Chain A
Amino acid sequence: MLIELCEVTKVYPMGKQGFYALKGLSLSIEKKEFIAIVGPSGSGKSTLLNIIGCLDKPTLGKYLLEGEDIGQKDDFSLAKIRNTKIGFVFQSFNLLPRATVCENVLLPLFYSRIPRRQRRGLAEEILEKVGLATKSNHRPSELSGGEQQRVAIARALVNNPLIVCADEPTGNLDTTTGREIMEIFAQLNKRGATILLITHERDIASYASKIIYLRDGEIVECS
C-alpha cells in the first residue's frame, strides 16, 4: 500500500470550536492508481491533498506513506519527502516569475543537492518530454497558460516522484488545453506514476481510475 489514511481529522483554529476540514477520513491508495478527488468548495479536497502531499499534518489520525508515519516526522524529513517523493501541480501554476522555465524546473534538484552540472541536463530532459525544450530560457510570463502548466508538471516530475498531487490543474485553462494537460497525466499514469487530482469537472475526473467524492470533510462516495 502506498498511501494509508486512518481516521484523519484536520481542524483549523477558527472560533471556539475550530473548523473541521476533514472528519475522521480513512482512505488507502495503491501504487499506480489515478485518483480524482471531487467535491464542492469547502469540502476538504485541498486539505486532503495537502496532507497526502506532506505540506500539512493531520490534527488527529494517522497518515502512512509507504508504511512510514508522516505525523511523526519533523519539518526537515517532511521537506525531504516533498522533495523526493511528491510532485505538486497547482491551479495557478505557481512558477517563480523571475526565473526562467529551466530554472523553475530544476528548483527541486537544487534542494536535493544534485550537482549544478547535472541539474540543467535533467531539467532539459524533462522539458523535452512535456514538449517545451525550445522554451527553456523563456520567462513564465512569456508562455501561454497551457505551457506554464506543462512547466509546472515538468517541475513536479523532475525528481521522479512517487506521487503527483495536482490541485485543479486545468482550472485556469480552456477546455482544449485542459484536455492536453490531462493527456499528459494519463500518459504519466500509464508509465507508472501515482496521480491524485482535484477537479470540479466531471469529464476531467473521467480520466481517473477511481473517483472520490468529498462533502464536509467526509468521503460520501468512492467509485
Chain B
Amino acid sequence: MFIDYITSSLNSLKQYKLRSFLSMLGIIISVFSIVSIITLGQGGKELIVREFTGSGTDLVVAHNDQMTETRMDKFAYLTEAQVEAMKRKIPGVADLAPEYLLSTTMKVGGENKRIPVIGVPANWFDIRGLDLVVRGRRFTEDEVRHSQKVCIAGQELFNSLFGKSKALGQEISIEGIYFNVIGLMGHKLKLGPFDINNALILPSSCMQRLLGTQEVYVVMFKAKDGVHPSVLKERIGEYLRETFSGKDLWAVHTMDELIKILDTVTNIISIVISSIAGISLLVGGIGVMNIMLVAVRERTREIGIRKAVGATKWDVLWQFLIESLILCSLGGGIGILTGVSLLLLIARLMNLAIFVSGGAIVLGFTFSCLVGIFSGVYPAYVAANLNPVEALRYE
C-alpha cells in the first residue's frame, strides 16, 4: 500500500518539477549547512588544535615550579639519567625530551637584546611535532652526540643579524662560542614564553657545556596512542612527587587549557551557525507547508474524485503526508550530497584532512524528515477532511 502512496507522490512531484525543487531548496540549503558546519566544526577543531599545539593534544610538559625559591642551589632538578628512567618507569610515555633554557645577550641591529636559547635533543622536534624549520634542516642525533656546534635560528633574528638574502651557514656567537646556522625556524605561535622567531635552538649536549651543568628543569612528554594526556599528567605528577620526596616542586601541564578555549570558541561558532541553519530549516519547512497547502487547494477536485471512488480520510492524509515527507527527505538527501561533495572538494583542493561525520549526515537527514512530517501534517489534515461533494464541485 505504501509503495502505491510513494509512487503516486513521486508522480505528482514530477508533475510540478520546478515548484517541488524550489520548495526543496530551503531544506537543501539548511541540511547542507548543518552537515558542513558539523563536519567543519569537528574537523576544523582537530586542525586548529594540531596547528596550535604541534603534535596535537598528546603533549605534556613538566617543569620546575619553585616560584618563591631564590637560591639556585635549592632548585629541584632532574639528572639526565633520571629523565631517561622516566621513559621506562612511567607507563604511557611514548617519548620524552628535556629542554635546557638559557638567556643570552646579543647585539642585534645596534642594540643589546636578550635572546632565549633552547637546548634540546634531536627527538625533541618529533615530540613537539611542529614544523618549526622553514629553511635548512634540524640537527641529527649524531650532531647532538658529538656536540657539533650547529644551531637553528629564529627567522627574524637571522634576518636582523645577517639580512634576508644571506645563505645558511653563517656563524652566530653565543657566550663566545660560534655556532653554524643550519636551519631557520618560524612559527606564528609562541612556544611557551619564547618568541620562536627570535630564539635559538642548540643541541642539548652543547647547551649542557654552555650551562656547565646537566641539571634538567623542563621535560616534554608525548603520550602513547590511546593514553589520555590528562591521565599521563597525573602519572608524571605522581612520579615527580615521589622523586622529590613527596614535595610538589614541579608542575605538570597538558594542552587541556588551550583545547578548552578552542572548544569554547568552536562550540560558540557551531551553536550560532547551527541555530541559523535550524531557523532556515524551519523557514524551509514553512515553505514546504505553503506549497503543500497550495497543492491541496489545487487538487481539491482530485481529492473529491479519489473520495468518490472509495478513498478514506486516511488514504488522503497519507498521500499528502508522504508527498511532503518525500519532498523534505529528498531535499535533505540532496543537501547532504552537495555538502559532503563540497567538503571533499575543499579537502582535496586545500589538502586538508576532513572527516565527514556520520552523525552530521544522520542528524541532517533526520531533521529534514521531521520537517517533512511537521509541514505535511496540517495540509494533509485539510485534504483528508474535505467534503467530497464540495470537492467534486470545486473549479
Contact = CB atoms under 8 A, between A and B. Distances in A.
B15 A82 contact: no
A94 B389 contact: no
A83 B305 contact: no
B308 interface: yes
Contacts of B311: 79, 111
Interface string A73-103: 0011001101110001010001110110000
B51 interface: no
A58 interface: no
B286 to A, nearest CB: 26
Contact of A111 (B15, B302, B310): B310
B309 A111 contact: yes
B83 interface: no
Contacts of A96: 302, 305
B392 A90 contact: yes
| Most chain A CB within a 10 A radius of its CB, from B1, B4, B392 | B392
Contacts of A112: 310
Interface string A146-172: 000000000100010000000000000
Interface residues of A, number: 27
A154 B15 CA distance: 25
B103 interface: no
Interface residues of B, number: 23
A177 interface: no
B310 A108 contact: yes
Contacts of A50: 389
Interface in B271-324: 301-302, 304-315
| Most chain A CB within a 10 A radius of its CB, from B307, B310, B389 | B310
B11 A98 contact: yes
Given A98-B11, A113-B1, A107 B309 contact: yes
A159 B308 CA distance: 13
Interface of B: 1, 3-4, 11-12, 15, 301-302, 304-315, 388-389, 392
Given A76-B313, A98-B15, A111-B311, 10 more contacts: A55-B392, A56-B388, A76-B314, A79-B312, A83-B310, A94-B392, A95-B305, A108-B309, A110-B4, A155-B309
Interface of A: 50, 53, 55-56, 75-76, 79-80, 82-84, 88, 90, 94-96, 98-99, 107-108, 110-113, 116, 155, 159
